Chain A
Amino acid sequence: MSLATVTTSGPIATLTLNRADTRNALSLDLLRDLHAAVDDLDARIARDRNLHVVVLTGAGKAFCAGMDLKAVLDNHDLALQLLSTLAKLTIKIRKLPAVVVAKVNGAAIGGGCGLACVCDLAITHADAKVGFPEVDLGVCPAVVAPWLVRKVGSGRARKILLSGGLMSGQQAFDIGMIDTVCPSAADLDKTTDEITTRLATGGPLAQAATKKLLNELDDSLNEALVLRGAQLSADVLSTPDAQARLRAKLSS
């Protein structure tokens, strides 16, 4: 079974990270399935212009716990492959000619929070735990940094990435990292449905043209930049300090 499943309902498709037993941590297998699912969505949208809203969400309680580093810790090449695959996925999602909405159903951490920032809109609930704790683990969040800068601006991105740690969905809303926050997890389906239903009334061509222009204005599709980020992130990951911290974290 694919780790990334797509369901459609009229103009709205839902792409679900389906690895709930690991809180949807981004393994190479999950990332490859996400690539295939986004390629499939892209092809479907090309055939059916009526399909123009995509919801990205996670199965189970978490949205996405971030990179699954367990399997790649000892191997710089594998780590680079994992991070590069995420980097290319971010570009692919950004490029989709549909409005992409992150339905952050629970924890969105590190690379997982980065995925939420790639989307055109992000919705969560007040108590969700989101953020970028990479520096706490000796890791550099270089793949996701350009997406956070585009989402909240350079000044706030510096504060967030250098501070590490996590914040609540409400705090993320207050600084513009999340666009809509609902009071509790129980309200998330309803709020998301309202927003996606409204988005579905927009003109698909107008939305796609607007998104394309916005991508040009902020150089969103600069793949070389995120791939350099993947290289930097993999290099920092292989330092003894990061290795020791990650090992301690993974064994806890």
Chain B
Amino acid sequence: MITSTTHTTPHGDILELSLARPDKRNALTPEMLTALRDHIAACKRSSARVLLLSGQGPAFCAGFDLSLCKDHPDGSVMRALLSSLHDCIAALRSLDIPVVIAAHGSAIAGGCALLGGGDIILTNAQAKIGYPVPRLGVSPAVSAPFLRDLTHDGNARARLVENTLIDGRTALRLGLAHECLDTPEAVHPRALAIAAGLAAKPAAALAATKRWLAEISPILNADSGLQASLALTGGEEERRLLPQAWSRL
């Protein structure tokens, strides 16, 4: 199944979902996120044993497509983006099969948030990773509950309030990635090899282990995170800061 901006490719037991808007560094539109959510839901009903999430072109994902938001100062597009982003991350976390994410090049803002849905995350040393969205008047609260689960609370807090990006090695140290390759080109082949290894493992044991880990370490307050981000959309601060950010790009 192929939609214009999200590709699904089956490799045997591995289902690969790839963000396919390479000329825009896979900047996320509401349509892309809705398609991604639907593909993840369909994955539950399929025989796939591993899900691989990747991005085509030079970067995994540069975040929301802000050019869409600037034309909607009422915040309607931002609301759609935030809600469907939350749905995607939550859907990834609810899967019984392992989720591998090949986050090469950059995983910024909404792109970084998607990492919260991964079990095994790969990146490269020079990759740019982070959530510099408060300077857009946007709160990254939507991804905070998931990011907290991936790293320790202290690390998550620092990442969410700082407006800077980190590199792949720092992400590895913080727990935001589990493997850091030397080059962006090396990320996808390695992710595919890891996915193939996981696909060969006993599915029932993997599913039981994933469910148990979700039970003993549940994501807390995921809905509060979304609501906190939604509450700011269309507000004065966002209307003031977002166009400035757009003019900087």
Contacts and interface: CB of A to CB of B under 8 A. Distances in A.
Interface of A: 134-142, 145-146, 149, 153-159, 161-164, 225, 229, 232, 236, 239, 241-242, 245
Contacts of B201: 135-136, 164
B120 interface: yes
Contacts of A163: 120, 194, 197-198
Contact of B205 (A145, A146, A149, A242): A242
Contacts of B119: 158-159, 162
Given A162-B198, A163-B198, A154 B205 contact: no
B150 to A, nearest CB: 4
Contacts of A159: 119-121, 178
B151 interface: yes
Contacts of A136: 201-202
Contacts of A142: 208-209, 212
Nearest to A164: B201
Interface of B: 98, 119-121, 149-152, 175, 178, 194, 197-198, 201-202, 204-206, 208-210, 212-213, 216-217
By Cβ-Cβ distance, the 10 closest A-B pairs, closest first, are A155-B150, A154-B217, A138-B202, A140-B208, A135-B205, A159-B178, A138-B205, A158-B119, A154-B149, A162-B98
A247 to B, nearest CB: 14
Nearest to A158: B119
B149 A162 contact: no
A157 B213 contact: yes
Given A154-B149, A158-B119, A135 B209 contact: yes
A246 B194 CA distance: 23
Nearest to B153: A153
30 contacts: A134-B209, A135-B201, A135-B202, A135-B205, A135-B209, A137-B202, A138-B202, A139-B205, A140-B208, A140-B209, A149-B213, A153-B175, A155-B149, A155-B150, A156-B175, A157-B217, A158-B119, A158-B120, A158-B210, A159-B119, A159-B121, A159-B178, A161-B213, A163-B120, A232-B212, A236-B208, A241-B204, A241-B205, A242-B204, A245-B202
